[in-house]
Amino acid sequence: MNSKSTFDKPVGVIGAGSFGSAIANILAKNTKVLLYARNPKIAKIISKGRKLHDQELHENITPSNDLKYVAENCEVLFPIVPSENFPALIDDLADFLKPYHILIHGTKGLIVINKNWEADENIKIERDDVYTMSRLIRERTLAVRIGCLAGPNLAKELADNHPAATVVASHFNEVISEGQRLLRNDRFQVYGSKDLLGIELTGVLKNIIAIAAGALSGMGYGENARALLISRGLIEMIYLGHMLGANTQAFLGLAGIGDLVATCSSKLSRNFTVGERLGKGEKLTDIVATMEETAEGINTIKIIVRLMKEYPLRAPITESLDKVINGDMTIEQALRFLMKSPFSIDFDFF
């Protein structure tokens, strides 16, 4: 039998996308949940039909369009919105947050604050300009107890109640233990980690490799090519993680290899889908225009490539995808380039 939360208050999930709804359903097995939807029409749909993104919502879930109400009635909050919307959300939420709040976010992206870097190629990006979601929460709110969710958590499979697992990472033991207690059930295992930065970055960087894996699939290549990409991609993720201040260990666990394998192998992954459609010859602008939810890997590629200009590091998969996205290279040319990359050593990060 699932244990009940010691909090009398419900748990808040901020963001009614497919992943947010799936996490709300998992939480609802153990506690009452307030599910915040920015669009009032979505909140009404949930109230009337108890269904969202083809998911039947648990009876313990109550929809809300009032961010203040959710924050004031919940001590534990799960913000799960696209990274491009995260700063505005946190700014709106900041007035209602107190030091007693626990925030465990589920957003796998990066953002650059206060620089018009996309419009001007001459603007430099340094490591301190690149924000994870936990850093943004810490710097813009009174919240102290902050964590993240990361792992092989494809929303559709979670919604269908398939066996799965995740990692709750935080510098605070109470955040990890409360996240585990609220989320864990007989179909969903929850591991803990004190390496918040490393676990966050694994979830962010694997999106790049998932786009490349999708491109291989779209071009009709098989499992040997995918295995080559995943193994080389993991090494590239580790080097990029080092550049961003992470260590190696986080990339070798469930949130690293586990999430990488899942998103590089499934059409349920938005980033894999972007790559697959690129591999079939579609233009990125058309792909993005027809996707219902954000593929975080596209923006991550742009940020990482710009950041790499300030570091003596090469990341051929990321760099090649950036050229494909910008129209400077075709997928076929990128593949030929990667196959000719002169790497004679498998890995050297231990």
Residue owning tokens 């109400």: 69
Among 172, 218, 183, smallest CA distance to 33 is for 183
Kind of pairing, strands 51-52 and 33-36? unpaired
Among 72, 7, 79, smallest CA distance to 36 is for 79
Residue 85 backbone phi and psi in degrees, to 5: -95, -5
* Residue 9 is among the residues annotated as catalytic for this protein: no
Do 136 and 94 meet the contact criterion of CB atoms below 8 Å apart?
A: no
Residue 73 burial (C-beta neighbours within 10 Å; 0-12, 13-18, 19+):
middle
The answer for residues whose C-beta is within 8 angstroms of residue 43's C-beta and 6 or more apart is 16, 37, 63, 64, 65
Distance CA 288, CA 165 (A): 29
For the stretch 228-234, contacts whose Cβ atoms lie closer than 8 Å and that sit 24 or more positions apart, written own/partner, are: 229/264, 229/317, 230/260, 230/261, 230/264, 232/317, 232/343, 233/206, 233/208, 233/209, 233/260, 233/264, 233/317, 234/209, 234/260
From 206, 302, 309, 340, active-site residue: 206
Three-state DSSP state, 187: coil
> Could you list the active site residues?
206
